[in-house]
Every structure is written in structure tokens, then in C-alpha cells.
Structure 1
Amino acid sequence: MGSTFNSLVGLIILALDIWAILNVIKSASEVGIKVLWILLIALLPVVGLVIWAIAGPRGNVRF
């Protein structure tokens, strides 16, 4: 059961990283900033995701 749980957590982190990267791509930031955020999220999946959630650029949000 341990490996199943670890696989599930890994898939959830992967899905959240992909979602964060797509939000960075949709944001209005400059290309260089986008590249840095994508590299941070891709190279440090958990830490990068947390840092992005706190301080990262957001996609185009319409209210």
C-alpha cells in the first residue's frame, strides 16, 4: 500500500505542477520571468509549487 500512496502523491504533485506552469504561461508577465518560474517549478516540483503559490504570477483572471 505504501508504493500506491507514494504513486498517488507523485501524480497529484505532477498535476499541480502542470497546472501551475500553464498559469505561468497564461500570465501577463515578461517572457524572461515566465521562463524563470517554469524552471523553478520544473526543477523543484514541491518547493517551486509552494513558492509559486505564494509569490508567482497569475494567469488572466476575469471577474
Structure 2
Amino acid sequence: MNIEVSGIIGLLILIADIWAIINVIQSSADTLKKVLWIVAILILPVVGLVAWFFFGPRG
């Protein structure tokens, strides 16, 4: 049971990270900021996602 719940949570985090990266790429921010946000999301999936949600570039 614990493995299944962890797998579902991990999948949801992966989907949210992919969605955040796509939104960063489509934003009007300059290239350096886009790269920094993508790296932050990839290295720190949960923290990077939350930080992007509150502070990241918008479309």
C-alpha cells in the first residue's frame, strides 16, 4: 500500500513539474531566467515547483 501511494504522489509531482517547465518555456521572460527556473524545478522538484508557483515568470 505504501509503495502505491508513493508512486502516485511521485507521478503527480512529475506531471506538475512538466506543466511548470512548459509554462516557463512559454513565458515572456528572458532566456537566462527561463534556464534558471527550469534548473531549479529539475533539481528541487517540490521546492522548485512551489517557488515557481509563487515567484515564477508568467505568460
Q: TM-score, normalised by structure 2?
A: 0.98
How far is the alpha carbon of 1:27 from its aligned partner?
0.2
Which amino acid counterpart does residue 57 of structure 1 have in structure 2? P
Secondary structure of the 1:58 match is coil
2:5 aligned partner: 5
1:33 aligned partner: 33
Taking only aligned residues, the RMSD between alpha carbons, in angstroms, comes to 0.5
Moved over 2 A (4+): none
Which amino acid counterpart does residue 44 of structure 2 have in structure 1? L
1:51 aligned partner: 51
Q: Percent identity?
A: 54
How far is the alpha carbon of 1:58 from its aligned partner?
1.6
CA distance in 2, matches of 1:14, 1:26: 18
CA distance in 2, matches of 1:58, 1:16: 16
Structure number with bigger Rg:
1
Greater fraction helix: 2
Q: TM-score, normalised by structure 1?
A: 0.92
Query: Aligned pairs, how many?
Result: 59
